[in-house]
Amino acid sequence: MFLVIVLFTIASLLVLGVNAWLLIEEIFIVRVPPAMHHRVRFHVVHYFFHLCITLGNLLEKMKISTMPHFVRFVQDLLSSKNNPGVLVKNLHFGTIPVRLFQPKAPCSGLRRGIVFYHGGGGVFGSLDCFHNICSFLARETDSVLLSVGYRKLPDHHHPAAFQDCLNATIHFLKDLKTYGVDPARVVVSGESIGGGAAAIIAQVLLDRQDLPKFRAQVLINPIIQGINFQLPSYRQNQNAPFLSRKFLMTCVCKYLAINVSWIDAMGKGTFIPPDNWEKYKKWVSSDNIPQRFKSPGPQPEFPGRFNESAYLETRLLFSSETSPLLADDKIIAQLPEAFMVSCEHDVLRDDTLLYKKRLEDQGVPVTWCHLEDGFHGCILLFDKGIFSFPCSHNLMSSTVSYIKGI
């Protein structure tokens, strides 16, 4: 009994110490973007997010749980499920868990279809965490929505998540009329890493003559490339709350099973062979970013001096299945129209800008929504009451408006 009391006391003091340290850091170090509405609310949300990550890392060091498992557990624990006007079914396509959202309102014909891949960097997120987002999109756009529960870190690495999203999508596309979906009106969509998956799958399925063609792609804060981590948004938002450059690059490395010791080489671009840079700079260079998104002053030298060892360890980044921005022009030109969302205070902002330019240069229509007060992951807060933000609502309403118009 005495030992239990001692252990409980130590654990309590540890948690209190962590809370105090993070609270001090939140007050004195964390920088809230100047354009952000509800600054105190932002601090509160970020504090609890940071606390969850920190406790997860502590549990991982103590070999009690991995950080990703702990964070996903907390996310699911805090996730409410609202289904007004929507019928929800949990299914499996083979071994892949999926969730189907179907409006209850009567419909005289076939409905629009949406395939949705959630965000989270291959680390966070789940069907439950994004449940209300999917339910809202299905109801407000009067669409049948399929949400895919793909495999994640730390148990699974690339290409597990991509294969799950691809296989679930193919299964859905082959059986659309069973779900009451119009084959001519299917949208592929996703947020963050899910947005990147949507862009990749839109490319991969172009040549499949046995499947319906996507009507549109909806890409929300997508990760589109892993070549240039010195783009203006990566430098301006390198310490941004919720997704710093270092954390993003750590997730990229772990997802692709690249040793994190290569992060410095990736950041400086020393892993890029000169021939590759000559081929790809017209797509991934900072020169392609509009001037209004650039900071004044000298720009960093990029790429750095070539390191062949770094290239051999990271060459997976040059595949169009990890960096869809690098696909050939003939592929880009065949893609369906796109709706793209970027957030000003997001390291991934310029990924959206680069892909937008590539699509437009090849004649693909793009509808662009830029949120001046937006930050990465704000979509998850759209239904959180007092902890929601205007950018969260604007993102969802703009997405609904676009989908309803196709």
- Structure confidence by residue, pLDDT tens digits, 117-151: 999 999 999 999 999 999 999 999 999 999 999 99
pLDDT score recorded for residue 20: 63
Residue extents of the structural domains in the chain: 2-76, 83-225+321-404
Q: Name the residue type at position 275.
A: D
pLDDT in the model for residue 30: 73
134 close to 99: Cβ distance less than 8 angstroms: yes
SS in 3 state form for the chain? Answer: CHHHHHHHHHHHHHHHHHHHHHHHHHHHCCCCCCCCCCHHHHHHHHHHHHHHHHHHHHHHHCCCCCHHHHHHHHHHHCCCCCCCCEEEEEEEECCEEEEEEEECCCCCCCEEEEEEECCCCCCCCCCCCCHHHHHHHHHHHCEEEEEECCCCCCCCCCCHHHHHHHHHHHHHHHCHHHHCEEEEEEEEEEECHHHHHHHHHHHHHHHCCCCCCCCEEEEECCCCCCCCCCCHHHHHCCCCCCCCHHHHHHHHHHHCCCCHHHHHHHHHCCCCCHHHHHHHHHHHCHHHCCHHHCCCCCCCCCCCCCCHHHHHHHHHHHCCCCCHHHCCHHHHCCCCEEEEEEEEECCCHHHHHHHHHHHHHCCCCEEEEEEEEEECCHHHHCCCHHHCCHHHHHHHHHHHHHHHCC
Q: Which amino acid is at 169?
A: T
Question: Is 46 labeled as catalytic in the residue annotation?
Answer: no
Q: Which of 128, 164, 346, 373 is catalytic?
A: 346
What is the pLDDT of the chain when averaged over all its residues? Answer: 93
- Residue type at position 48: F
Q: Is 264 a catalytic residue?
A: no
Structure tokens at 244: 């710093």
Alpha-carbon gap, residue 190 to 395, rounded angstroms: 13
Q: Which one, of 102, 162, 111, lies nearest residue 406 by Cα? A: 111
Reply yes or no on whether 370 is catalytic.
no
Distance, in Å, from the CA atom of 194 to the CA atom of 19, rounded to the nearest integer, reads 32
Q: What is the pLDDT of residue 54?
A: 93
**Tell me: the pLDDT tens digits for 331-370?**
999 999 999 999 999 999 999 999 999 999 999 999 999 9
Name, in order, each residue with C-beta under 8 angstroms of 143's C-beta and a sequence gap of 6 or more: 103, 111, 112, 113, 114, 137, 187, 403
Cα→Cα distances 64→59, 60, 155, 318, Å: 5, 6, 15, 36
pTM of the entire predicted model: 0.95
Catalytic residue among 50, 69, 345, 376: 376
From the candidates 126, 135, 189, 192, give the one annotated as an active-site residue. 192
Averages of pLDDT over runs of 10 residues in the chain (406 residues) are 49 58 65 80 91 93 95 93 93 98 92 98 96 97 98 96 98 96 98 98 97 98 98 96 96 97 97 97 96 88 96 97 97 98 98 98 98 96 93 98 96
pLDDT score recorded for residue 298:
81
**Beta-bridge partner residues of 143:** 112
Give me 270's structure tokens. 């020393």
Q: Which fold has domain 83-225+321-404?
A: Rossmann fold (3.40.50)
Q: What is the pLDDT of residue 8?
A: 46
- pLDDT per residue as tens digits for the range 3-44: 445 444 555 545 666 666 655 766 657 787 777 778 889 989
